Chain A
């Protein structure tokens, strides 16, 4: 019996039904990321509106206008792609698209349940943070390539902000690594089976939350966009689909950072009762998303000098103090 080469159709079917492909394509991969980013856009507008005693999206679909963001998505995708004449076309197009791809790549590292995990990297936490450090480069290139005043100011502000807050972000997550003794996100979750890390790492968790909001450029740290002063900053010149990519990347980052916070501080998919692990991880992620959105309704924008001073002195100092506290916790209470 001679081995026949497998025919292309059955091979394609075999690839399409393999668990890894389904995970990448459907959940927690691309399809779910697209839908969740669209729903988060609606949630962001709706919650902010309710906090400010407005109604928010209302007319599209009976359920509080939940389909508004899908309608916006279709509208933006079919708009004419106008690229400014003096812009650097290569980076102008590349930066937001690459940013969206990077944002989606972050989701691939998060263990939503023991099964729904795309890539179990041994050093998952630093890989996640290293992906995040690429975004100021892209934002700076996006702001520069538009060859216009406001995008460039926005790009520079983003550079100040993101590079300044990266260091406290890395240092605050170090406390978790010290307690768990591993960089692997799944093992960090398993190390929390006796107690969530948010209790011994409360200071670290607060620093992580503040710096991650700054990395996402959300209010109160939305200086690079700052609609009233620099008119959306680095996104000002972006047309249709590219604006969609730039905005979408922001919401994918919101989702990814909330999922990471859940994973390293709130016990990830661990939870009581008969409910599946997937429910718990998504439930906690949703709570974190809503918390970050509520910040937008509650606070005003910080000034650039305040932002830099807090980042380089207060947060950096507290992150180092947190590492010291963690050391004494580990030495003093080895049972935790």
Chain B
């Protein structure tokens, strides 16, 4: 039987993520993103990884959401559709999607996830960093795209003001 706490938190996380994209008001979107990140942190706590949850909150809500909110508030709430250049945007989106397809394809092969868990209960720092950077290197790089997306989003919003 699935843990009811997991169901509630996972639902809140997913709804927050959908709201972050769909919200009319950009401020509400950013706040929903914060709720989604809080949900992820709660999932980490359910997995007994309180330390990871702490940094999820500190980095993603304490820094990323604040940066997005700051940018949104500085350029003012955008009413209705923002004018955008369709050609360049679609080209950029196509490049991004093909990049992610390539990464997804490389992750989908059998060797991407090593079966043996190198980092058990008796795991020192050296072993942990080896597991993280050698065995799970690609996955770590993919995770860092979240930060890249945040930076690109903030830049796009800041640029919209001048148009």
Contact = CB atoms under 8 A, between A and B. Distances in A.
A30 interface: no
Interface string B1-35: 00000000000000000000000000100010010
A137 B30 CA distance: 10
Given A133-B58, A137-B61, A126 B51 contact: yes
A166 B63 CA distance: 10
Given A134-B57, A136-B62, A159 B70 contact: yes
Nearest to B25: A88
A130 B69 contact: no
A133 B61 contact: yes
A134 B62 contact: yes
Contact of B50 (A91, A123, A129, A163): A123
B58 A126 contact: yes
Given A137-B65, A141-B27, A129 B70 contact: no
Contacts of B31: 91, 141
Given A126-B58, A144-B73, A137 B51 contact: no
Main secondary structure of the interface of B (DSSP, over half): helix
Question: Which interface class (under 10, 10 to 19, 20 to 34, 35 or more) fits B?
Answer: 10 to 19
B78 interface: no
Contacts, number: 59
Contacts of B27: 88, 91, 141, 144
Interface residues of A, number: 25
Contacts of A133: 57-58, 61-63
A91 B69 CA distance: 13
Nearest to B70: A159
Contacts of B57: 130-131, 133-134
B25 to A, nearest CB: 8
B62 A140 contact: no
Interface string B103-132: 000000000000000000000000000000
B151 interface: no
Contact of B69 (A122, A127, A140, A166): A140
Interface of B: 27, 31, 34, 50-51, 54-55, 57-58, 61-63, 65-66, 69-70, 73
12 contacts: A91-B27, A122-B50, A130-B54, A130-B55, A133-B61, A134-B61, A136-B66, A140-B66, A141-B27, A144-B27, A166-B62, A170-B58
